[in-house]
Protein backbone atom coordinates (compact mmCIF):
# COMPACT_ATOMS: atom_id res chain seq x y z
CA UNK A 1 0.00 0.00 0.00
CA UNK A 2 1.42 3.48 -0.95
CA UNK A 3 1.68 6.38 1.44
CA UNK A 4 -0.79 8.32 -0.74
CA UNK A 5 -3.42 5.74 0.17
CA UNK A 6 -3.72 7.17 3.74
CA UNK A 7 -6.49 9.83 3.54
CA UNK A 8 -6.21 10.72 7.26
CA UNK A 9 -2.82 12.35 6.47
CA UNK A 10 -4.64 15.21 4.75
CA UNK A 11 -6.91 15.72 7.74
CA UNK A 12 -3.98 15.66 10.17
CA UNK A 13 -2.01 18.07 8.03
CA UNK A 14 -4.92 20.52 7.78
CA UNK A 15 -5.44 20.30 11.56
CA UNK A 16 -1.79 21.09 12.29
CA UNK A 17 -1.54 24.10 9.96
CA UNK A 18 -4.85 25.41 11.27
CA UNK A 19 -4.05 25.07 15.01
CA UNK A 20 -0.55 26.47 14.49
CA UNK A 21 -1.96 29.42 12.50
CA UNK A 22 0.50 28.71 9.71
CA UNK A 23 -2.17 28.86 7.01
CA UNK A 24 -4.64 26.84 4.99
CA UNK A 25 -2.57 26.09 1.96
CA UNK A 26 0.81 26.25 0.33
CA UNK A 27 2.27 27.85 -2.77
CA UNK A 28 2.93 24.47 -4.38
CA UNK A 29 0.97 21.32 -3.81
CA UNK A 30 2.62 18.81 -1.50
CA UNK A 31 2.71 15.11 -1.61
CA UNK A 32 1.72 13.11 1.44
CA UNK A 33 5.41 12.72 2.31
CA UNK A 34 5.85 16.51 2.01
CA UNK A 35 2.82 17.07 4.20
CA UNK A 36 4.22 14.74 6.88
CA UNK A 37 7.60 16.49 6.78
CA UNK A 38 5.95 19.92 6.95
CA UNK A 39 3.82 18.80 9.89
CA UNK A 40 6.88 17.66 11.84
CA UNK A 41 8.67 20.92 10.95
CA UNK A 42 5.73 22.99 12.23
CA UNK A 43 5.50 20.96 15.45
CA UNK A 44 9.28 21.23 16.00
CA UNK A 45 9.16 24.98 15.43
CA UNK A 46 6.30 25.39 17.88
CA UNK A 47 8.11 23.26 20.45
CA UNK A 48 11.28 25.33 20.10
CA UNK A 49 9.32 28.58 20.40
CA UNK A 50 7.53 27.29 23.52
CA UNK A 51 10.85 26.30 25.07
CA UNK A 52 12.42 29.71 24.40
CA UNK A 53 9.38 31.47 25.86
CA UNK A 54 9.48 29.26 28.96
CA UNK A 55 13.18 30.03 29.50
CA UNK A 56 12.62 33.79 29.16
CA UNK A 57 9.59 33.63 31.46
CA UNK A 58 11.56 31.67 34.06
CA UNK A 59 14.41 34.19 34.01
CA UNK A 60 12.01 37.13 34.42
CA UNK A 61 9.98 35.38 37.12
CA UNK A 62 13.03 34.30 39.12
CA UNK A 63 14.50 37.79 38.85
CA UNK A 64 11.30 39.38 40.14
CA UNK A 65 11.00 36.70 42.82
CA UNK A 66 14.54 37.37 44.03
CA UNK A 67 13.77 41.09 44.02
CA UNK A 68 10.72 40.58 46.22
CA UNK A 69 12.57 38.14 48.49
CA UNK A 70 15.43 40.61 48.97
CA UNK A 71 12.92 43.37 49.59
CA UNK A 72 11.07 41.23 52.14
CA UNK A 73 14.29 40.26 53.94
CA UNK A 74 15.42 43.87 54.07
CA UNK A 75 12.00 44.94 55.32
CA UNK A 76 12.20 42.31 58.06
CA UNK A 77 15.64 43.56 59.08
CA UNK A 78 14.40 47.15 59.14
CA UNK A 79 11.74 46.20 61.66
CA UNK A 80 14.50 45.20 64.07
CA UNK A 81 16.72 48.23 63.46
CA UNK A 82 17.54 50.64 66.23
CA UNK A 83 20.38 52.99 67.02
CA UNK A 84 21.07 53.15 63.28
CA UNK A 85 21.70 55.91 60.72
CA UNK A 86 19.25 57.07 58.04
CA UNK A 87 20.65 58.45 54.77
CA UNK A 88 18.21 60.51 52.69
CA UNK A 89 19.24 60.46 49.04
CA UNK A 90 21.67 58.12 47.29
CA UNK A 91 23.37 60.59 45.01
CA UNK A 92 27.10 61.30 45.09
CA UNK A 93 27.12 62.58 48.68
CA UNK A 94 24.77 59.85 49.85
CA UNK A 95 26.95 57.15 48.32
CA UNK A 96 30.05 58.58 50.00
CA UNK A 97 28.25 58.64 53.34
CA UNK A 98 27.19 55.00 52.85
CA UNK A 99 30.75 53.94 52.03
CA UNK A 100 32.08 55.56 55.21
CA UNK A 101 29.38 53.95 57.36
CA UNK A 102 30.14 50.55 55.81
CA UNK A 103 33.83 51.03 56.56
CA UNK A 104 32.97 51.81 60.19
CA UNK A 105 30.52 48.89 60.33
CA UNK A 106 27.58 51.13 61.25
CA UNK A 107 24.08 49.91 60.47
CA UNK A 108 22.14 52.26 58.20
CA UNK A 109 19.22 52.47 55.80
CA UNK A 110 18.95 54.58 52.63
CA UNK A 111 15.82 56.43 51.53
CA UNK A 112 15.79 57.03 47.76
CA UNK A 113 12.90 58.18 45.55
CA UNK A 114 14.46 57.25 42.18
CA UNK A 115 13.16 53.77 41.29
CA UNK A 116 15.86 53.07 38.69
CA UNK A 117 18.62 54.05 41.11
CA UNK A 118 17.24 51.66 43.72
CA UNK A 119 17.05 48.80 41.22
CA UNK A 120 20.60 49.43 39.97
CA UNK A 121 21.95 49.07 43.52
CA UNK A 122 19.83 46.15 44.75
CA UNK A 123 22.82 43.82 44.43
CA UNK A 124 24.69 45.78 47.11
CA UNK A 125 24.36 44.89 50.77
CA UNK A 126 22.47 48.12 51.46
CA UNK A 127 18.99 48.49 52.91
CA UNK A 128 16.86 50.69 50.67
CA UNK A 129 13.46 52.26 51.20
CA UNK A 130 11.92 53.65 48.04
CA UNK A 131 9.98 56.80 48.82
CA UNK A 132 9.97 60.51 49.55
CA UNK A 133 12.10 61.35 52.58
CA UNK A 134 10.03 64.46 53.34
CA UNK A 135 7.00 62.32 54.21
CA UNK A 136 6.35 61.07 57.73
CA UNK A 137 5.36 57.58 56.58
CA UNK A 138 8.64 57.04 54.73
CA UNK A 139 10.76 58.12 57.69
CA UNK A 140 8.74 55.92 60.03
CA UNK A 141 9.40 52.93 57.72
CA UNK A 142 13.10 53.75 58.03
CA UNK A 143 12.87 53.56 61.82
CA UNK A 144 13.19 57.26 62.53
CA UNK A 145 11.94 56.86 66.11
CA UNK A 146 14.76 54.46 67.05
CA UNK A 147 17.51 55.92 64.84
CA UNK A 148 20.47 57.72 66.40
CA UNK A 149 21.36 59.90 63.39
CA UNK A 150 20.03 61.17 60.09
CA UNK A 151 22.05 62.40 57.10
CA UNK A 152 20.11 64.24 54.42
CA UNK A 153 22.02 64.74 51.16
CA UNK A 154 19.23 65.81 48.83
CA UNK A 155 20.33 68.28 46.10
CA UNK A 156 17.54 70.75 46.90
CA UNK A 157 17.94 72.80 50.10
CA UNK A 158 14.17 73.13 50.47
CA UNK A 159 13.77 69.35 50.47
CA UNK A 160 16.52 69.02 53.06
CA UNK A 161 14.74 71.59 55.24
CA UNK A 162 11.46 69.62 55.04
CA UNK A 163 13.31 66.40 55.92
CA UNK A 164 14.89 68.07 58.94
CA UNK A 165 11.58 69.50 60.19
CA UNK A 166 9.83 66.16 59.80
CA UNK A 167 12.66 64.15 61.35
CA UNK A 168 13.02 66.49 64.32
CA UNK A 169 9.30 66.31 65.04
CA UNK A 170 9.50 62.49 65.11
CA UNK A 171 12.75 62.18 67.06
CA UNK A 172 13.87 65.13 69.18
CA UNK A 173 17.08 63.55 70.46
CA UNK A 174 18.71 62.28 67.26
CA UNK A 175 21.70 63.87 65.54
CA UNK A 176 20.80 65.43 62.18
CA UNK A 177 23.40 66.30 59.54
CA UNK A 178 22.29 68.13 56.42
CA UNK A 179 23.79 69.22 53.12
CA UNK A 180 23.38 72.88 52.12
CA UNK A 181 24.36 74.94 49.10
CA UNK A 182 24.08 78.48 50.50
CA UNK A 183 24.67 80.43 53.70
CA UNK A 184 21.01 81.41 53.97
CA UNK A 185 20.00 77.75 53.82
CA UNK A 186 22.59 76.94 56.47
CA UNK A 187 21.00 79.38 58.90
CA UNK A 188 17.49 78.06 58.24
CA UNK A 189 18.58 74.46 58.68
CA UNK A 190 20.19 75.24 62.03
CA UNK A 191 17.02 76.99 63.20
CA UNK A 192 15.04 73.91 62.11
CA UNK A 193 17.15 71.72 64.39
CA UNK A 194 20.14 70.51 62.38
CA UNK A 195 23.11 69.45 64.48
CA UNK A 196 25.67 70.02 61.72
CA UNK A 197 25.49 71.58 58.26
CA UNK A 198 27.92 70.60 55.51
CA UNK A 199 28.43 72.74 52.41
CA UNK A 200 30.28 70.54 49.85
CA UNK A 201 31.16 73.45 47.58
CA UNK A 202 32.68 75.42 50.48
CA UNK A 203 34.62 72.42 51.77
CA UNK A 204 35.85 71.59 48.27
CA UNK A 205 37.02 75.14 47.59
CA UNK A 206 38.81 75.39 50.93
CA UNK A 207 40.50 72.03 50.31
CA UNK A 208 41.74 73.14 46.89
CA UNK A 209 43.10 76.40 48.30
CA UNK A 210 44.91 74.54 51.07
CA UNK A 211 46.55 72.32 48.47
CA UNK A 212 48.17 75.51 47.16
CA UNK A 213 49.08 77.14 50.48
CA UNK A 214 49.97 74.04 52.54
CA UNK A 215 50.25 71.00 50.26
CA UNK A 216 52.42 68.99 52.67
CA UNK A 217 49.91 69.42 55.49
CA UNK A 218 47.15 68.00 53.31
CA UNK A 219 49.34 65.13 52.18
CA UNK A 220 50.19 64.38 55.82
CA UNK A 221 46.52 64.38 56.82
CA UNK A 222 45.69 62.03 53.95
CA UNK A 223 47.94 59.45 55.63
CA UNK A 224 45.72 59.62 58.72
CA UNK A 225 42.49 57.68 58.37
CA UNK A 226 39.40 57.30 60.50
CA UNK A 227 38.93 53.77 59.15
CA UNK A 228 40.06 50.80 61.17
CA UNK A 229 41.83 49.07 58.27
CA UNK A 230 44.40 51.86 57.77
CA UNK A 231 47.94 51.79 59.29
CA UNK A 232 47.25 54.91 61.38
CA UNK A 233 43.79 55.84 62.61
CA UNK A 234 42.20 58.82 64.30
CA UNK A 235 39.24 57.81 66.46
CA UNK A 236 37.21 59.17 69.34
CA UNK A 237 36.79 57.18 72.52
CA UNK A 238 33.84 57.90 74.78
CA UNK A 239 34.65 57.71 78.47
CA UNK A 240 31.15 56.86 79.63
CA UNK A 241 31.99 53.92 81.89
CA UNK A 242 35.37 54.63 83.42
CA UNK A 243 36.85 52.00 85.73
CA UNK A 244 37.13 53.10 89.37
CA UNK A 245 40.92 53.09 89.25
CA UNK A 246 40.84 55.72 86.49
CA UNK A 247 38.15 58.05 87.82
CA UNK A 248 39.29 61.70 87.95
CA UNK A 249 42.88 60.72 87.17
CA UNK A 250 45.04 62.61 84.74
CA UNK A 251 46.28 61.31 81.40
CA UNK A 252 49.76 61.02 82.93
CA UNK A 253 48.54 59.08 85.97
CA UNK A 254 46.65 56.60 83.79
CA UNK A 255 49.79 56.12 81.68
CA UNK A 256 48.02 55.97 78.34
CA UNK A 257 51.10 56.65 76.23
CA UNK A 258 53.30 54.25 78.19
CA UNK A 259 50.77 51.40 78.21
CA UNK A 260 49.51 51.61 74.62
CA UNK A 261 51.83 53.82 72.59
CA UNK A 262 48.84 55.79 71.25
CA UNK A 263 48.66 59.59 71.38
CA UNK A 264 45.79 61.63 72.76
CA UNK A 265 45.66 64.66 70.45
CA UNK A 266 42.30 66.05 71.56
CA UNK A 267 39.92 66.14 74.49
CA UNK A 268 36.24 67.09 74.72
CA UNK A 269 34.66 67.91 78.07
CA UNK A 270 31.08 66.87 78.93
CA UNK A 271 30.13 70.56 78.42
CA UNK A 272 31.29 70.44 74.79
CA UNK A 273 34.58 72.31 75.21
CA UNK A 274 37.40 71.12 72.95
CA UNK A 275 41.02 71.00 74.08
CA UNK A 276 43.59 70.50 71.35
CA UNK A 277 46.73 68.59 72.37
CA UNK A 278 45.74 68.25 76.05
CA UNK A 279 48.50 68.39 78.65
CA UNK A 280 49.40 65.25 80.69
CA UNK A 281 47.72 66.72 83.79
CA UNK A 282 44.31 66.85 82.01
CA UNK A 283 41.87 64.78 84.06
CA UNK A 284 39.74 62.16 82.33
CA UNK A 285 36.20 62.44 83.67
CA UNK A 286 32.99 60.51 82.91
CA UNK A 287 31.19 61.42 79.64
CA UNK A 288 34.27 63.10 78.22
CA UNK A 289 35.79 62.14 74.87
CA UNK A 290 39.34 61.39 73.83
CA UNK A 291 40.60 61.87 70.28
CA UNK A 292 43.28 59.25 69.81
CA UNK A 293 45.88 58.77 67.07
CA UNK A 294 47.51 55.37 66.74
CA UNK A 295 47.58 52.00 65.05
CA UNK A 296 44.51 49.72 65.23
CA UNK A 297 46.29 47.59 67.84
CA UNK A 298 47.17 50.60 70.00
CA UNK A 299 43.61 51.91 69.82
CA UNK A 300 42.22 48.51 70.78
CA UNK A 301 44.45 48.47 73.87
CA UNK A 302 43.31 51.98 74.80
CA UNK A 303 39.65 50.98 74.50
CA UNK A 304 40.31 48.15 76.90
CA UNK A 305 41.83 50.58 79.40
CA UNK A 306 38.81 52.87 79.29
CA UNK A 307 36.28 50.09 78.65
CA UNK A 308 34.54 52.23 76.08
CA UNK A 309 33.45 52.16 72.46
CA UNK A 310 33.62 54.55 69.58
CA UNK A 311 30.91 56.41 67.82
Do 189 and 277 share a structural domain? no
Check residue 233 and give its pLDDT: 80
Residue 120 — pLDDT band, cuts 50, 70, 90? confident
Check residue 310 and give its pLDDT: 42
Structural domains in the chain (count)? 3
Q: In this predicted model, which residue has the larger pLDDT, 257 or 43?
A: 257
Query: What percent of the chain shows pLDDT beyond 70?
Result: 73
Check residue 82 and give its pLDDT: 84
Do 201 and 92 share a structural domain? yes
Q: Is the pLDDT of residue 67 over 80?
A: no
Mean pLDDT confidence for 7-30: 54
**CATH number (domain holding residue 267):** 3.30.70.1450
Residue 243 counted as domain residue? yes
Q: In this predicted model, which residue has the larger pLDDT, 123 or 43?
A: 123
pTM above 0.85, yes or no: no
Residue 269 counted as domain residue? yes
Looking at the DSSP bridge assignments, the partners of residue 293 are 234, 263
Residue 218 counted as domain residue? no
Residue 58 counted as domain residue? yes
Do 174 and 89 share a structural domain? yes
Tell which of 71, 103, 126 closes a domain: 71
pLDDT tens track for 124-178: 888 999 999 999 999 999 999 999 999 999 999 999 999 999 999 999 999 999 9
Residue 215 counted as domain residue? no
Residue 48 — pLDDT band, cuts 50, 70, 90? confident
User: What is the Cα–Cα distance from 296 to 147, expressed in whole angstroms?
Assistant: 28
Tell which of 71, 91, 110 closes a domain: 71
Residue 217 counted as domain residue? no
Residue 95 — pLDDT band, cuts 50, 70, 90? very high
Phi-psi region of 204 (alpha: psi -120 to 50; beta: other; left: phi over 0): alpha
Residue 273 counted as domain residue? yes
Nearest by Cα to 154 from 127, 135, 126: 135
Residue 27 — pLDDT band, cuts 50, 70, 90? very low
Residue 123 — pLDDT band, cuts 50, 70, 90? confident
Contact of 66 with 123, CB cutoff 8 Å:
no
Full domain range(s) for residue 60: 3-71
**CATH number (domain holding residue 105):** 3.40.50.720
User: What is the Cα–Cα distance from 178 to 153, expressed in whole angstroms?
Assistant: 6
Tell which of 178, 205, 232 closes a domain: 205
Check residue 105 and give its pLDDT: 82
pLDDT tens track for 247-256: 778 888 888 8
Amino acid sequence: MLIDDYPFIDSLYMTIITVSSVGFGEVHGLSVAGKIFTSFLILFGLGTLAYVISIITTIIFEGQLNYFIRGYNKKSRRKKMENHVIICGYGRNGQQAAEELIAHKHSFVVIEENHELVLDNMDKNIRFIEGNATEDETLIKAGIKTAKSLITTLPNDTDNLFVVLTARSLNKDMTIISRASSKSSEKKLKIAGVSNVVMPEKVGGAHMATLVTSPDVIEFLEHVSVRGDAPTNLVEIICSQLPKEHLNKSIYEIGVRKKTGANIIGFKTPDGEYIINPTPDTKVIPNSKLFVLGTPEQITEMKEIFRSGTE
